[in-house]
Structure 1
Amino acid sequence: MSIRWKLLWSYAAMLIVPLMFLVLISALLLIVFRGDVRSIHSIYESKIEGIEENDYNRLVKRTLAQNPQLLTDTAYLRELSAELAARQVSLLVREESRTVYASSAIAGDPVLTSDLPPYAHPDFRKDTTVKIDDVWYQIVQYDLKAADGKPVSLFLLTKIDPLVHFAKRWFPIVFAAAVAALILTNAALTYYMSTRIIRPLLALRQAAGRFSEGELEVPIAVKGKDEIGQLGVTFENMRVRLKESVSLQMQYEKNRKQLIANISHDLKTPITAIKGYVDGILEGIADTPEKHERYMKTIASKADELDKLIDELFLYAKLDMQKVPFPMQPMSVRGLLNDWSEDLGFELEKNGVTLERDFDLPAAVCVRVDPDSFKRVLGNIIQNSLKYMDKARPSIRLSARTINEAVEIVIEDNGSGIPAEALPLVFDPFYRAEWSRNARTGGSGLGLAIAKQIMMAHEGDIRAESVAGGRDALDFDDGDRRRRGRWRQIKGY
C-alpha cells in the first residue's frame, strides 16, 4: 500500500473512530440515565424538566378537563403544588387576568406573573422558554374553561440553567456542526499533508528515476525545513556530487587515454631507436669498429633513458596510490636549503646559470619532511627550469619565507615562460607545454607530476606562475617563471 493511501486511511480512521465512540458513549449514557433507548425521544417530547408527557395527560386531560371545578379549588391546588414542588416545578392558575393560585416559590414575584402569555382558547397548549427578570423559565401553558365558563390558564413553570437549555435546544445543530468541523478539518489536514509529504516524495521519486537514467542536470526543487525538506537537500547534494563525480570520471577517462597515448609515445621512441641501431649492426651497416662502438653507445643511452622512464613511471604510480613510505623527520628549512643550494650553485655555475638565494626565515623554523624526497622535488623543478632556458644570461633565484603558519619556498627563473592555458596542466603526468615533445626539451614528462605527489604526501601544495613581458627583482628578461611550494610550519624542534 502506498504512503498516499496509508495517510488517507489513517485520516479516515481518525474521523470515523471518534464519531463511533461518540455515538456509542452517548447511547450508553442515555441508557444508563433513561433506562431504554426507545425513551430517548422523550427528552425532546418532555418540555418541563422532571415532568413526562403522561404527567400532562393525567393532570390536564384526565383530571382538570373532566373536573373544571378543581381549577378554583384552593386545597386541591395546594396539594398539587406540593407534589410538583418536589420536582422543582411551580404551579400558577390565572382566571381571566386574576391570579387564582401561585406556588410559594413564585407567589411574591409580580413581574413573573405579569409577563406570562395571555389566554388563547380552550384546549390550547403551548411550550415556551422565556427569560423573566434575568431568569430562564420553561413554561407549559394550558387554556381551559372553568366550571362557570370563565377562561382559565394553567401554567407549569420550572427554572432552567441557561447552558442546559442551550444544550437541549441546540444540541442537534451543535453536534452536526462539530461533525462538519471534524470532517472539514480532516479534509484540510489530509490536503495539507498531501501537499507537504506526498508531492515532495513524488518529486524525489521522479528525481531518483532521472538519476537512474543518468540525467543529472535538472535540480531538485523540494523545499522546507522538515524531514522531507532535509531529504530533498540531501538528494540535491547527492545530485551535485554525482554530476561532479561523472564529470570527474569522464575527465579521468580522458586523462587515462591521454596518459596511455603519452606513455606509448615516450616508450616507443627509445625502443624504435634501439631497434634501428640493432638492425644497423645486424645488417652490417656498422662495418667499422668506430661505427659499431657508436651504435652500441647509442643503444646503451636509449636503454638507460627507457629504464629511467620506467622507473619514474613506477614511482609516480606508487605515489598516486600512496604506497611510498616517507621517513619524516624535523628539519630546519634554512639549514636544508643552505646545504642543498650550495651543491646546486656549483652545478649551475658549470652551465653558466646564475643562482641567487634569499632565505628570509629564522634558523629555528622546522618542518617534518623526508629530506631525500624534498630534495627530489627541488631538483625536478630546477631540471624543468633548465630545459626552457633561452636567455643569454640565464638566472635562477631561490627564496624562502614564512607566511602565517606556513613556509613558502619560491624558485624563479628567466626562461621562456609558460602559456597561460598551460599553467593548470604543468603538474599533470606526461604534459608538456610544447606538443612536439622534442628531444631538446625532452624527459619523461613526469618530473613535475612526481613533485606534486610528494608535496601532497607532505601535506603541502605546489603551483606554477608565469609573468610574460614582466621584470622582477633579479632584472629578469621578459617571460620569467616561478614555482612555489608551501609547507605548514612546525615549531619546537
Structure 2
Amino acid sequence: MKRFFRSLLAKYMFLILLAMSIVQVSYLIIALFVFGVSSNTQGDTLNNHTIEEGDVEEKWHQEANGMQVVTSETIEEHFTKWKQQHPKASMFWVDGQGTLANQVNVKEQLPAEWSAVYTAKFIKQHYGGDPFTVIAFVGQDEMNGFIVLEMPRSEFDPPLKNIYDEYGLIFVSGVIFIIFLFLLVSFLFFRSIRKRLLQLQEAMEIRDVDGLPIEITVKKKDEIGQLEKTFNQMVFELRESKQSEQKEEQLRRELIANLSHDLRTPLTKVRAQTYSIAKEDLSEEGQKAIESLEASVVNIDRLIENLMSYTLLMASKYKFETKDIDVIRYVRECLALWYPVFEKEEFKFEVNLTPFEQNKWKIDPIWLGSIIDNLLQNVLRHAKSGGYICVKTESTNLYDAIVISDKGNGMKNESDEAGAGIGLSIVDMMVKGMKLDWDIESSEAGTTIKLKKYK
C-alpha cells in the first residue's frame, strides 16, 4: 500500500479528485453567492418567484379604482408605496382637466397638458413595448383622471436571469479560473514527468570516460524512480562486466605475447636443424620434404610475427614514430626486396610509381613497411593462380594513393592457404593509426587495394 501511494498513478488520481473537489466547492460558493445576492436585491420577489405582468396590471387597476379620496397627497402616498416595491418603476398622474399633476421617477419629457389626441398617441406608442405600461382611471369617477405605471420588462424576468445579467461575467470568470487552475496543475504534473524522462534519456546518451552511460540521481520512489534505479543497476553491472572483460583481455594478450616469445626459441632450433639436414646427401623425396619443412617454418614464423604485432597493436604498445618520408622512394625500396621472391614464383611484376605533387607523407616507415609486406604476402599466397602483380600510384583532387592489384580469384573464393585474416586486421589498424585510409575491390578477375592519403 505504501508503494502504491508513492506511485504516479496515486498522484494522478489525487490530482483528479482534487480537481473534482475544487469544482464542487466552487459551485457551492457560487450558489451561496447567488442566493445571498438575490435575497438582498430581490427581497420578497425571490420567494414569490417571477413577477407576472398580469398580476401587476390587475393590482394597479384594483388599487387605482379603489381610491375613495383623490388628492395630490393620496396619489403621492400611492406612488411611494409602489416605489418601495418596485424601485425601477416610474409613475405619473394626469388629472381630469388633462394636467400633469404628479410624477415619480419619470425620465422622459412629458407635456404639462394632455389632450385626447396626445393621450391616444401615448397609449399607442407604449402598448406592448418596453417599458411595460399600465394606465388606470383613479377612483370610481373618470373625471379624476388616470395614473400611469411604467416598469422595465427586465423586472419580469426570472430572478436568476437578472442576477446572471448583473453577475454573469464574475460567474464565467470564476469557471474559467477553475479550469485554468486545473490545466495549470496538470501541466506542472506532466512537465515534471517529462523532465525526469528527458534527464533519463540524456543519461543514456551521454558517455563516461569508460564509454558507458552515466548514472542518474534517484530523487523519488515512484515508477520513474524505480526505472532510474534499475538503469543505475544496469550501468553498474555493465561497468563491472567491462572491467572483468578488460582484465581477461589483458591476460589473453599477455598469454599470446608470452606464447609467441616462447615459440620462437624451438622454432629457431627447428630451422637450424633443417638447415643442417639440408646439407646432407638426401634423396629427391628427402630434399622435397626438407624444402616443404623450411616453407612451413617460414609460414609459422610469419604467423607468430603477425600474432605478436596484432597483440601489441590491440594493447597500444606497438612502437609508433611518425616521420616525413618520401613515400615513392620508400615503396620502391620495399618492392626491391620482394622482386626476387615474385620472380622465383614466376609472377609478372609491374611497377609504375609516378611522383605525387607532394611526395612527403608524415607516417611511421616501419608501419608502412609492415603494411606493404602483409599485402604483398597475401598476393603471393592467395593470388598465385593469376601470376600477376602491379604496384602503381594514383592521384585525384581528393587523395593520393598507392595501388596494389593482382589477377587472382578474388577474396570471396577459397584459397589453399586461407588464414585467420590477422594480416588484414593489422593493415587496418596501422592504416587508421597513421590517419590514412584504404579500400578493397575484389572480384573473380582479381583484387585491387588502395592506400589513400587525403589532401
TM-score when scaled to structure 2?
0.53
1:41 paired to 2:39: yes
Structure 1: 5+ residue runs without aligned partners?
31-36, 118-129, 205-255, 278-285, 423-432, 435-440, 471-479
1:331 paired to 2:325: yes
1:74 paired to 2:72: yes
- Cα deviation digits, residues 303-322 of structure 1 (max 9, x gap): 77656544422321232344
Q: Is the 8 A contact 1:415 1:481 kept in 2?
A: yes
Structure 2: 5+ residue runs without aligned partners?
1-5, 112-117, 199-248, 271-276
Secondary structure of 2:362's counterpart equals: strand
Give, in angstroms, the shift of residue 386 of structure 1.
Answer: 1.0
Distance 1:156 1:46 in 2: 20
How many pairs were matched up? 350
1:407 paired to 2:409: no
Q: Give the partner amino acid of 2:401.
A: E
Distance 1:341 1:462 in 2: 19
Shift of the 388–301 alpha-carbon distance from structure 1 to 2, 3 Å rule, reads: closer
Distance 2:335 2:301 in 1: 28
Secondary structure of 2:11's counterpart equals: helix
Secondary structure of 1:41's counterpart equals: helix
Give, in angstroms, the shift of residue 169 of structure 1.
Answer: 6.0
Over aligned residues, Cα RMSD in angstroms?
A: 6.4
Distance 2:173 2:95 in 1: 49
Distance 1:66 1:325 in 2: 129
Shift of the 2–176 alpha-carbon distance from structure 1 to 2, 3 Å rule, reads: farther
Distance 1:398 1:388 in 2: 17
Distance 1:355 1:307 in 2: 26
Shift of the 45–87 alpha-carbon distance from structure 1 to 2, 3 Å rule, reads: closer
1:345 paired to 2:311: no
Give, in angstroms, the shift of residue 364 of structure 1.
Answer: 1.8
- Cα deviation digits, residues 327-367 of structure 1 (max 9, x gap): 12333433333333344435544554332222345242443
Q: Is the 8 A contact 2:154 2:162 kept in 1?
A: no
- Cα deviation digits, residues 46-65 of structure 1 (max 9, x gap): 679xxxx9xxx9xx89x968
Distance 1:463 1:89 in 2: 103
Could you tell which deviates more after superposition, 370-379 or 39-48?
39-48
Distance 1:384 1:181 in 2: 84
1:484 paired to 2:450: yes
Shift of the 41–64 alpha-carbon distance from structure 1 to 2, 3 Å rule, reads: same
Query: Partner residue of 2:15?
Result: 10
Q: Give the partner amino acid of 1:68.
A: M
Distance 2:341 2:171 in 1: 101
Structure 2 matches for 1:240-389, cutoff 5 A? Answer: 308-389=302-383
Q: Is the 8 A contact 1:367 1:488 kept in 2?
A: no
Q: Give the partner amino acid of 1:43.
A: T
Distance 1:88 1:173 in 2: 19
Higher helix share: 2
Q: Give the partner amino acid of 1:105.
A: K
Give, in angstroms, the shift of residue 396 of structure 1.
Answer: 1.3
Secondary structure of 2:408's counterpart equals: coil
Query: Partner residue of 2:438?
Result: 462
TM-score when scaled to structure 1?
0.50
Identity %: 13
Shift of the 39–375 alpha-carbon distance from structure 1 to 2, 3 Å rule, reads: closer
Distance 2:447 2:296 in 1: 31
Give, in angstroms, the shift of residue 382 of structure 1.
Answer: 0.5
